Structure 1
Amino acid sequence: MFDTFQLSSVFAVVAVLSSLALLGYFSWKTLRTSNLFQKGITLYQQENYKSAEATFRQVIAINSTNDVVRLLLGDTLMQQGKVEEATQQFQDVINRAPKKVDAYLRLSNALMRLEKKESAIATLEQARDLLQAQRQAQKLEEVNRVLEKLKKS
């Protein structure tokens, strides 16, 4: 029969092996995600937008909370003229990370391409407010210039 010491040892070994298995799994997942992400970037830079889209979708399937990949997927969709789909990607990022200024800027651009000027202006104004709060003076100046132009036209 097992005594208490042997039983404790068995539990310890099982705990260590389980931890190592989990660590191995998460390491593999991280490496796979990183490799796919880099592949997507390369494909985008090569202007192979269809393949870049597929690759970014793979990354999102592995890690659905990566907002940078969603922004890049949106950019890729924009390059293919899939503006409605891109708009949804940018809006998803805003819903999850409401302080992510880049999502507002990209969404505003997509709304302008959809000829939704008032929505684009409202979105840019939200970006402007975030930039002020984050004290990003240079980007704030650029957004203010764009807003002035949009409101005049």
Structure 2
Amino acid sequence: MEIFQSPTNLIAATIVFFAAAILIYFAWKTLITSNLYQKGVTLYQKKDYEAAEATFRQVIAINSTNDVVHLLLGDCLMQQDRVKEAMKEFQDVIQRAPKKVDAYLRLSNAFIAQGNRTEAITNLEKSRDLFQTQKQPQQAEQVNQLLQKLKTNQN
């Protein structure tokens, strides 16, 4: 074959081959992750929290930086009354993505479940402030109303 007759052509063909192999690998990995994610969501919706947890952990093993999956894993743990484990998931998301409002909201729910209203209020205030910064006044107002109820019931 003419392609392999010169070293330059051989190098170019090798580079193209490896680039294609890398693309195929990442496409395969994305497909598997997507399928597992969908399976986890379906299991969660069916209230099979243990199976959903296991599935979300598989997704995290493939892609540990997916914050949405960590939040869903935390939700599964909350449903199983494993509040401390759920809190770790929410806190990890906050550490990686400090502007992720959903993590603060879920963490505040976990603090409420523990009876720690002070920390719940702190996290709700942070989520309210983030909603305001992100120009989402309706969500900020909803959180503000919840804060008022919590503060009223705290006294």
TM-score (norm 1): 0.95
4+ runs deviating over 3 angstroms: none
CA distance in structure 2 between the partners assigned to 1:74 and 1:136 by the alignment: 25
CA distance in structure 1 between the partners assigned to 2:47 and 2:117 by the alignment: 28
The answer as to 2:78 corresponding to 1:78 is yes
Name the structure 2 match of 1:35. 35
Name the structure 2 match of 1:150. 150
> What are the Cα deviations for residues 84-128 of structure 1, in whole angstroms up to 9, with x where unaligned?
100010001100000010110000000110111111111111111
Name the structure 2 match of 1:124. 124
Identity of aligned residues (%): 60
Structure 1 gap ranges (5+): none
Shift in Å, 1:83: 0.6
CA distance in structure 1 between the partners assigned to 2:40 and 2:77 by the alignment: 13
Deviates more, 1:130-139 or 1:28-37: 130-139
CA distance in structure 1 between the partners assigned to 2:150 and 2:43 by the alignment: 33
CA distance in structure 1 between the partners assigned to 2:136 and 2:102 by the alignment: 12
Counting only pairs closer than 5 Å after superposition, residues 102-121 of structure 1 correspond to structure 2 as 102-121=102-121
Letter in structure 2 aligned against 1:145: Q
The answer as to 2:54 corresponding to 1:50 is no
CA distance in structure 1 between the partners assigned to 2:61 and 2:137 by the alignment: 36
CA distance in structure 1 between the partners assigned to 2:114 and 2:73 by the alignment: 18
Counting only pairs closer than 5 Å after superposition, residues 58-97 of structure 1 correspond to structure 2 as 58-97=58-97
TM-score (norm 2): 0.94
The answer as to 2:10 corresponding to 1:10 is yes
SS of the residue corresponding to residue 73 of structure 1 reads: helix
Q: What is the number of residues matched between the two proteins? A: 149
